[in-house]
Amino acid sequence: MTRSLLSLAAVALVICGAAACSATDDDRPTVVVSTNILGDVVESVVGDEARVVTLMKPNADPHSFEISAQDGALLRSADLVVSNGLGLEEGLQQHLDAAAAERVPTFVAGDAVDVLDYRDGDAAGTPDSHFWTDPTRMIDVVTALEPALSGLDGVDPDRIAAQTAEYTARLTELDRTMATTFDAIPRDRRALVTNHHVFGYLADRYDFDVVGTVIPGGTTLAAPSASDLSDLVDALERTGVPAVFAESSAPDRLVRALADEADLEVRVVELFSESLTEPGGGAPDYPTMMRANADRIADGLTP
């Protein structure tokens, strides 16, 4: 009896070991992506042709998130590293630099777009990293990404090409949908106030004015001065903006305090601007995030 039980246990261990092996044994190329917005885009384009590992968790701040030593090692052993660039991944940059130094193939999305510079604040004159708020620029990223993915060992270039075309069509339709949504906003209300500069590309694409920001810079790691807040209050009073927008990845307490201090009838509307959410959180993928933002902006600014 004892010998039989031991034999059964040994068989079970073999089966479990085989199952574990099959669960982790993946001979597809590994693509490591920095932000979850780009991670969703890469997954949509590559499909099951490669293993995609996204480092940034849902609802995180791309300016400040950090990774473990294990993730750092994975990044340095990747077949391809995809990052946003333009100074966005401040907490991750040392790992990206280490991977590049070890000659890991890299794709920097910011290199594929027509870059805008910040116009105001301490960051004035430096590149704006938030290009994804314009889906046509994301189309440029996808177009440039296709050859980098198609060149990975073991992938089917024809499938990558087909999936690229399909996803590009989705983004083209997204652009049309957003334009139609924004058409409902009167011209004199097409003004944006956010907690930091993140919608410059959206404003450029869909003809908005960025009236001001609570944090006058391109990163959530900065802090506003009393003078900055005073200037923004003046802008709110001058323009009569009916809503200010706070990003889901950053606390909106400061935005609400600003609205209270200005003694204005101003709504505070949350947007999903720099991070996707968990499933069910309102922005589980890039196109859904952008449609939700367009709807919320239109609702906040339309009488």
Q: How confident is the model at residue 61 (pLDDT cuts 50, 70, 90)?
A: confident
Using CA atoms, how far residue 125 sits from 38, 74, 115, 118, 219, in Å, is 25, 35, 11, 5, 14
Q: Of 3-7, 21-25, 159-163, 177-181, which gets the smallest average pLDDT?
A: 3-7
- State the amino acid at position 36 in one-letter form: N
Using CA atoms, how far residue 281 sits from 24, 132, 254, 289, in Å, is 29, 19, 23, 10
Q: How confident is the model at residue 287 (pLDDT cuts 50, 70, 90)?
A: very high
Q: Of 218-222, 262-266, 276-280, 292-296, which gets the smallest average pLDDT?
A: 218-222
User: What per-residue confidence (pLDDT) applies to 11?
Assistant: 41
Quick: pLDDT tens for 132-145: 999 999 999 999 99
Residue 93 exposed, middle or buried by CB count within 10 Å (0-12, 13-18, 19+): middle
State the average pLDDT over residues 4-30: 53
Residue 7: is its pLDDT beyond 70?
no
User: What per-residue confidence (pLDDT) applies to 266?
Assistant: 75
Residue 78: is its pLDDT beyond 80?
yes
Q: HSE on the CB side for 114, CA within 13 Å?
A: 9
Q: How confident is the model at residue 5 (pLDDT cuts 50, 70, 90)?
A: very low
Whether pTM > 0.95 for this model: the answer is: no
- State the amino acid at position 127 in one-letter form: P
Residue 263 exposed, middle or buried by CB count within 10 Å (0-12, 13-18, 19+): exposed
How far apart (Å, rounded) are the C-alpha atoms in residues 69 and 95? 10
Name the nearest CA neighbour of 116 among 204, 232, 44: 204
Q: How confident is the model at residue 215 (pLDDT cuts 50, 70, 90)?
A: low
Let me know how long the chain is. 303
User: What per-residue confidence (pLDDT) applies to 204?
Assistant: 96
| In contact, 79 and 105? CB cutoff 8 Å | yes
Quick: pLDDT tens for 222-272: 455 556 666 667 767 777 788 888 776 555 565 666 666 666 677 788 899
Sheet holding 80-83, edge to edge: 51-54, 30-33, 80-83, 106-108
How far apart (Å, rounded) are the C-alpha atoms in residues 223 and 243? 21
| Token pair belonging to 218 | 């391109």
Top-confidence residue, 190 or 24: 190
Would the CA dihedral through 139, 33, 290, 284 be positive or negative? Answer: positive
User: What per-residue confidence (pLDDT) applies to 234?
Assistant: 73
User: What per-residue confidence (pLDDT) applies to 248?
Assistant: 61
Q: Of 15-29, 121-135, 190-204, which gets the smallest average pLDDT?
A: 15-29
State the average pLDDT over residues 195-216: 83
3-state secondary structure of 161: helix
Using CA atoms, how far residue 76 sits from 51, 147, 215, in Å, is 15, 21, 34
Quick: pLDDT tens for 100-131: 999 999 999 999 999 999 887 677 889 999 99
The average confidence (pLDDT) of the chain is 85
Q: How confident is the model at residue 15 (pLDDT cuts 50, 70, 90)?
A: very low
